[in-house]
Amino acid sequence: MNVGIVGLGLIGGSFAKAYKKAGHTVYACDKDKTILNFAQLCGTVDKQLNEETTPLCDLILIAVLPNDAIEYFKTNAHLMNADTVIIDCCGTKRTVCDKCFKIAKENGLTFVGGHPMAGTHKSGFKNSDEELFKDAPMVLVPPVFDNPELLERVEELLKPVGFGKFSVTTAQKHDEMIAFTSQMPHIISNAFIKSPVAKEHNGFSAGSYKDLTRVAWLNPDMWAELFMENSDNVLKELDTLINSLNEYKTAIVSGDTDTLVSILDDGRKCKERVDGNNIN
């Protein structure tokens, strides 16, 4: 299989390493030529993804920020083969899918929205890992929902990476869910660590502190773009959280232990209902 990778950051680099390990040919491009050269020197990338190699690809994965993904596809669609499947890896789906479905239709191409649900708080090719996606979920947003052959083909093309589960949804539903499961944890973690007490935490912190603050290490430019792309859903989740926090605050300020116990127990029960015995 010939696989094209656009962007050699954590996600693109991990895809490149996974496909190369599986014995496939990897073409790639990155705005940082130093990264591309290094990826070629270390054997992860066979050749640059360009006018010559783009038409040879069975699969092209676009692993850059949403606006860059749209621009890349628009600029390079004329080079792509009609048999190639193009999948983006962006963290939001509505804008990307809306634009890219149209570009694909205009050029007789097949584009599928994608979001690999894996990552770390570290970024860049140097932190990419061939095992990053092993057993991880992959969310797919197809252009139509009555083409099982397309989904089977996509799953087969992605098989070498080792995803554990594929979820098929709409761009709208994806963005609603991701605001809660991914974007809010990053906001909460990033805000929590700003406490003046944080700098004195050594010797007083354990697992809960580490769990809550891990993703405070983020790429500000990337996450700001993702938050703004999905601002309606993020604001909805923020309002829900702020309202909940005010309930805790009101109970503590008023010295209402019974209400505080009730609120805490309600949160415990919510976790139990959502996850049952599978506490993640």
Q: Are residues 16 and 146 in the same domain?
A: yes
Full residue range of the structural domain in which residue 182 is found? 174-275
pLDDT reported for residue 278: 57
pLDDT reported for residue 12: 97
Q: Are residues 69 and 192 in the same domain?
A: no
Mean pLDDT by runs of 10 across the 280 residues of the chain is: 97 97 98 96 97 98 96 98 97 97 98 92 89 96 95 97 96 97 96 92 85 90 94 98 97 97 95 74
Q: Can you tell me whether residue 117 is helix, strand or coil?
A: coil
Q: Are residues 178 and 127 in the same domain?
A: no
Q: Are residues 14 and 39 in the same domain?
A: yes
CATH code, domain with 150 = 3.40.50.720
Within 77-179, residue ranges assigned H as helices are 94-107, 148-158, 171-178
pLDDT reported for residue 277: 63
Calculate Rg over the CA atoms of the chain: 21
Structure tokens at 176: 């609603």
Q: Is the pTM here over 0.85, yes or no?
A: yes
pLDDT reported for residue 280: 47
